[in-house]
Amino acid sequence: MKLLVCGGAGFIGSNFVRLRVRDHGDDVVVLDKLTYAGRRENLHDTLDQVRFVHGAIEDPDAVADAIEGVDAVVNFAAETHVDRSIADPDAFLRTNAIGTYVLLEAARAAGVRFLQVSTDEVYGSIEEGSFTEESPLQPSSPYSATKTGADLLVASYFHTYGLETVICRGSNNYGPYQYPEKLIPLMVLNALHGDKLPVYGDGMQVRNWLYVEDFGRGIGHALAHGAPGEVYNCGGPDECPNIEVVERIVSLTGNDASLIEHVTDRPGHDRRYSLSSEKLRALGWEAQVHFAEGLEQTVAWYRENAWWWEPIRSGDYREYYERQYGRALG
């Protein structure tokens, strides 16, 4: 297939591009704005095998250039960090809502299949049981509200224009090349440096952890076998409270639990996410990596790839970290 992968220089997008080029021999065009979270380094071993277009999904000219001759569009491009959306939602609306609209228009003009990469956060929080694709959409943060808006727009293009759309909603991903603003890489890098580990509130919030390659395979399944207009959940095999995730990282890095510091909770913090993935399983997908194994591999990857994270830790990320945690951690 010839795929346009938007946001292919980010965490999940770059792992997906690697998987498609390596295992499927796909011809891939990457369209990416290269925000703080998008880096050519994420594609260091694959960049020479793809066509890279540096541009924004909300720019119709860049999109028209990138979409030329492709069979399908897979949209990962987004502002993705909940804490940043709370501090400043502006870019979230532009990219996640307007950007998706511009891409949908281009896919409609080109008549190609459109896969929207979405998130379990569109359903909000669930105390018990798991969300199915029929669960109501009740997003809590500006991030998840813009992702929900995008999902509704995608659905409208199926109903109104007959565009072949598929939505794939993933749970919390982890693995190599994840920007260290997110829980797991933040804790791993802090632990490797002997820095404090800032746990929001009581740390009993639960996430449904999905190894990034499992999500990439799930998206591939939904793209190849999903029915037009349908939504497919793609959840990880294991759930874990945040405090236990951090304790496991403390132990895998040979540290002491005294590094853990409970800090002020995130406003509007969702207590628990959990996805039922029966519908995607019926298409033949199954998660292959359990959390214990995937977390060990992920810690090892960060240990062995200082070349990847050193420039991040010494760059703009420091300012972000100061703003987000400086006061709480003294």
Q: Any catalytic annotation for residue 48?
A: no
Choosing from 32, 79, 143, 321, the catalytic residue is 143
Q: Any catalytic annotation for residue 151?
A: no
Among 182, 217, 221, 279, binds ligand DAU (CB under 6 A): 182
Kindly tell me which of 255 and 301 has the beta carbon lying closer to ligand NAD. 301
Choosing from 32, 120, 151, 181, the catalytic residue is 120
Query: Which residue, among 212, 204, 180, has the nearest Cα to 193 in the 3D structure?
Result: 180
Q: Any catalytic annotation for residue 143?
A: yes
CB 176 to ligand NAD: min, Å:
12
Among 18, 33, 84, 248, binds ligand NAD (CB under 6 A): 33
Binding partner selected for residue 12 from ligand DAU, ligand NAD, none, CB under the kind-specific 5 to 8 Å limit = ligand NAD
CB 296 to ligand NAD: min, Å:
19
Kindly tell me which of 165 and 242 has the beta carbon lying closer to ligand DAU. 242
DSSP 255-271: --GGGEEEEPPPTT---
Question: What HEC string does 8-59 produce?
Answer: CCCHHHHHHHHHHHHHHCCEEEEEECCCCCCCHHHHCCCHHHCEEEECCCCC
Alpha-carbon separation of residue 178 from 5, 182, 184 (angstroms)? 18, 7, 9
Instruction: Provide the Cα torsion 61, 115, 236, 8; round to 10°.
Output: -30
Do the beta carbons of residue 66 and residue 107 sit within 8 Å? Answer: no
Do the beta carbons of residue 205 and residue 270 sit within 8 Å? Answer: yes
Among 17, 21, 32, 219, binds ligand NAD (CB under 6 A): 32
Q: Catalytic amino acids?
A: 120-121, 143
Q: Which residues make up the interface to ligand NAD (CB under 6 A)?
A: 6-7, 9-13, 32-35, 37-38, 56-58, 76-80, 95, 99, 117, 119, 147, 170, 172-173, 179
